[in-house]
Every structure is written in C-alpha cells, then in structure tokens.
A and B are shown apart, each in its own frame.
Chain A
Amino acid sequence: MIRTPLLALMTAFLMVSFVSAEDENTRQFENEQQHETYRQLIKELRCPKCQNQNIADSNAPLAEDMRDRTYQMLKEGKSREEIINFMIARYGEFVHYQPPFTKVTSILWWGPLLILVIGVGTAIALTRKKKAVAELTQDERERLEQLRKSRDE
C-alpha cells in the first residue's frame, strides 16, 4: 500500500535532480552557500507559463530565463529576498510558492479552524437540547411507569 506513492515520490525527486543537474553543469558558483541558495530559489519560484511547476522542474523558455536571471543576480551579490521581490514585482505573488499572510490569504489559514469551531459548537448545542428534551416532568414519569406496567402485565 505504502510503496506506490513512495515510489512515485522518489521518481519525482529523481526527475527534479536530473533537470537541475543539467542546468547547473553550465553554472559556476563562488561557494557552496551560493550554490545552495540558487538550488533553493529555483525550487521555490514558480513558473508562470507552465503552472504547478517550479522553475527548476520546468523546461519552458521562460523558466530558463528566470533561472538565468536568478543566477545573474546571485552573481551580482543580490540576496535571496531581493531576488524573490524582483520576481514578485514582475510576475506577482503567484511566482513564489510561499504565499504571504495577507487579509485575502488569511481565510485559508483561519477558515478550517472556523469551520471546526462552528461544527463543534453546533454538536454541543444539539446534544444539550436533546438532554433537555429527555428530562421528563413528574407527571410524565408516572405515566411512563404506568404504561410500562400495563405492557408487562
């Protein structure tokens, strides 16, 4: 059961490393840290052309341009944040796989919690009501007792 998804995941990772390896063969980095930042960035930046792929994965010419630009900017000594902001300024928040916490996106974070609270609240309210119905008055209890007796006889 567990094997198939795991295999799929492993294949996916393998494919990512193929594309990245091909791309990185032509690039020269000053140090391992810069290389690592580059690898992180191309995994985090989303290709606007072939949506649902990051620019490390995508073979689209635009993804290639974006990788080139990322590399150039790293070489110029630009920071991770500067590169991400540069891409967002041109392609929108869409381009980054970590959406910021804003008024619009807050519903995605708090929505499920809100629904859970409503659900639990409703369940509690409903069970309480049932209890209230289950409590009988003195008269009713006596009548119930009588009915039971008459049935048993």
Chain B
Amino acid sequence: MKIHTEAGERHVLAVTVDNEAGILAKITGLFSARGYNIESLTVADISADHALSRITIVTSGPPAVIDQIIAQLDRLVPVHSVTDLADGGAHVEREIALVKVAGSGDKRIEALRMADVFRAKVVDTTLSSFIFEITGTSDKVDRFIALMRECGLVEVGRTGVVAIARGSEAV
C-alpha cells in the first residue's frame, strides 16, 4: 500500500493574535497536529500597547485544506482574525535575507556585481567577505542565494515572508 498526498497551492495568511505566552506554540502546534504545511512563519508585536501580534504564515494545500486551516485558526480563543491574502486580491510580500559570501578575486567582484543587479545592499565587509542584505519576494531572494552559491556563499539568514494587502483597507 502507498500513502497518497494531494497537491496544494500556496497561500499567505495574516493572523492577528493576542500577544500572550504560548500563542506561537498554539499556532504551530495546530499545524503540526493536523498535518498542515508551514513554509514560513513570522511573528511580531504590532500594536502600540503590545497587546496584539501579527503572524504571517505561508502555507500550501488543496483549497479545502486551506479553508480548514483558516477555520481551525479562527476558532482558537486568542485569535482575533485570519485573512487569506490571496483571497482579498493583490497583496505585497517581502522577505529579507542576510547573505554572507567569502572569497577573493573574480568571485568577489562577481558577487558584488550581481548584488548590484539585485539591488542588495552591502551591510558588512572584510577583505575576504561581504554580507549582503536583500529584500524582495521569496522568489527573488531564492534566485539571489542560488547565484551566490557560485560565488562563495557561506551563510544565510532569512526572515520569512511578511505580507500586506494592497489598497487603503486594513485586514
């Protein structure tokens, strides 16, 4: 017998929650307990009184599973709202990566040239290394990192995706 899995589509969820102890464990535990995917997850406090946090979750699944994820998140007591950013039309997604590249000679020059093409900033340098800061969609960050592998990539740190809907309305 083989175990079958269904193909899914990528969704970005914005979840507003009470900024309380254990909330992240509650959210991530829900995903692991019910077998949902987390491709990336970011969380930070977003209100002036530090009472609310916004969690941005990139997940994937068939439409029925995405609906379930939203309903399951929404019924958690500390969850205020769940928005599927793909649902509300266009949205903006950004991710930051810090990319450390070590080397000398042509590879070093090539790394700097490509960083310029990608509009990555140099935030630290030594005679034998750069740290680039790159901001963009996950795809763009992926492509930049792939190129840097050829130019002496030694370390990467990524934030995961934050996203917000276009237009004047709040979620």
Q: Do the two chains bind?
A: no
> What residues make up the interface of B, taking CB atoms closer than 8 Å to A?
none
> What residues make up the interface of A, taking CB atoms closer than 8 Å to B?
none
